[in-house]
């Protein structure tokens, strides 16, 4: 039995200031998340400069709380991990500089972590990953299908060519008059509506695992615009349901095709949109039909958090994947070239 790894992880890539202590990549000793969402609501979306300002206000408090809740002194830590990217650059820099200062002060190794790898490994906080697997990452910034045949081996087999699915959710929410962030509201309304509009499904060319949601978004906007001009009634619940059905159809069809072609027995779904009830239900029935193990993290691990960064960092620690003090934030990092 090798020695335990206890990692302090920090995540500030968007609008949550988060720190966590995780043992051996699976056991959450603490998981502190300070959400800024109330501040960004008034703008109808995350404002990068405002996000960065909030991060610096709370960063040391969040770190202190994570250590206290874990009952862990810095001397007991094996390393400090931090999200290197992708994300909002100004926001990332707060977490990265705090992580570097902390690792320097306590002579701890510094582990840079890819944000999307974090979302995938959020599942490891609940159950072991079984390789090979396919992971669908769905959030406000990402829509990606990733194949993994082992730990830290990421192959992007499909990604969005335009809007991320969460972005489309937020825009549709706005046009039907729902507050930011719109995803959960659209999901809630859709349960009371019917798929009456039959919006287009963008499957793209045969054999492609890529996604496109801008056409669907435009179809919703144009349909509503036409009906408003003609003075026709718009049932918001039906718009929400019709939009959601289209998005879920495409996401699940492409994912299940990939599961079949790559002959995997484990499907992971992660990212903020993984909390969507329509998407969860469809995957649950498809996976039981095809005898595939499905893992979707609890809601608090779907959205941004630092525990998921600590879960990846455990494996990076085993591989001595460390950064020096000149680590910088990057708004884009190719996950295939990350390790």
Partner 1 sequence: MLSLLIDTSNRPLSVALNRDGFTLAEINTTVKKTHSATVMDYIDKLFKMTELKKNDVHRIIVANGPGSYTGVRIGVTVAKTLAYAFGTELYSVSSLFVVAASSSRKGIVAPLFDARRGNVFGAVYNMKSDSFTEKVAPAHMSLEDLQTELSSYDSSVILLDGQEKVSANLEDFVHTVPRISMVEPFETALEKEDIHSLVPEYLRISEAERNWMEQNKS
Q: Which residues bind partner 1 (CB under 8 A)?
A: 42-43, 47, 49-50, 52-53, 56-57, 59-61, 63-64, 74, 90, 93-94, 96-98, 100-102, 104-106, 324-329
Rounded least distance, CB 28 to partner 1, Å: 23
Shortest reach from residue 91's CB to partner 1, in Å:
10
Q: Which is nearer to partner 1, 107 or 205 (CB)?
A: 107
CB 64, min distance to partner 1, A: 7
In whole angstroms, how close is the CB of 81 to partner 1 at the nearest point? Answer: 15
Q: Which is nearer to partner 1, 101 or 234 (CB)?
A: 101
Q: Which of 161, 159, 162, 182 is nearest to 170 (CA)?
A: 182
Q: Which is nearer to partner 1, 38 or 326 (CB)?
A: 326
Q: Rank residues 110 and 165 by Cβ distance to partner 1 and give the closer one.
A: 110
Whichever of 89 and 157 has its CB closer to partner 1, that residue is 89
Give the nearest distance from C-beta 106 to partner 1 in angstroms.
6
- Give the shortest CB-92-to-partner 1 separation in angstroms: 9
**CB nearer to partner 1: pick between 53 and 265:** 53
Burial of 267 (0-12, 13-18, 19+ CB in 10 A): buried
Cα separation, 76 vs 73, in Å, equals: 6
């Amino acid at each position: 039995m090798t020695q335990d790894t206890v990692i302090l992880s920090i995540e500030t890539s968007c609008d949550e200031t988060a720190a966590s202590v995780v043992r051996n990549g699976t056991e959450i000793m603490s998981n502190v998340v300070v959400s800024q969402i109330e501040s960004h609501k008034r703008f109808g979306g995350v404002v990068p400069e405002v996000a960065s300002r909030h991060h610096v206000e709370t960063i040391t408090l969040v770190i202190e709380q994570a250590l206290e809740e874990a009952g862990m002194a810095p001397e007991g830590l094996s390393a400090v991990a931090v999200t290197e990217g992708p994300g909002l650059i100004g926001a990332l820099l707060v977490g990265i500089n705090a992580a570097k200062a902390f690792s320097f002060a306590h002579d701890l190794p510094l582990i840079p972590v890819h944000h999307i790898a974090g979302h995938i490994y959020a599942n490891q906080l609940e159950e072991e990953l079984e390789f090979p697997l396919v992971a669908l990452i769905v959030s406000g910034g990402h829509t990606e299908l990733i194949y993994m045949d082992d730990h830290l081996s990421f192959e992007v087999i499909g990604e969005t060519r335009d809007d991320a699915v969460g972005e489309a959710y937020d825009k549709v929410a706005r046009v039907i008059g729902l507050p930011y962030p719109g995803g959960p509201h659209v999901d809630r309304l859709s349960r009371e509506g019917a798929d009456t509009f039959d919006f287009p499904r963008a499957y793209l060319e045969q054999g492609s695992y890529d996604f496109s949601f801008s056409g669907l978004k435009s179809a919703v906007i144009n349909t509503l615009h036409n009906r408003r001009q003609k003075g026709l009634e718009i049932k918001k619940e039906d718009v929400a349901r019709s939009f959601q059905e289209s998005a879920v159809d495409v996401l699940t069809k492409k994912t299940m095709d990939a599961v079949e072609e790559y002959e995997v027995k484990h499907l992971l779904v992660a990212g903020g949109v993984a909390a969507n009830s329509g998407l969860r239900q469809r995957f649950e029935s498809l996976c039981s039909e095809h005898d595939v193990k499905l893992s979707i993290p609890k809601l608090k691990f779907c959205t941004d958090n630092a525990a998921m960064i600590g879960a990846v960092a455990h494996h990076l620690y085993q591989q001595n994947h460390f950064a020096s003090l000149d680590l910088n934030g990057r708004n884009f990092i190719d996950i295939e070239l990350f390790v």
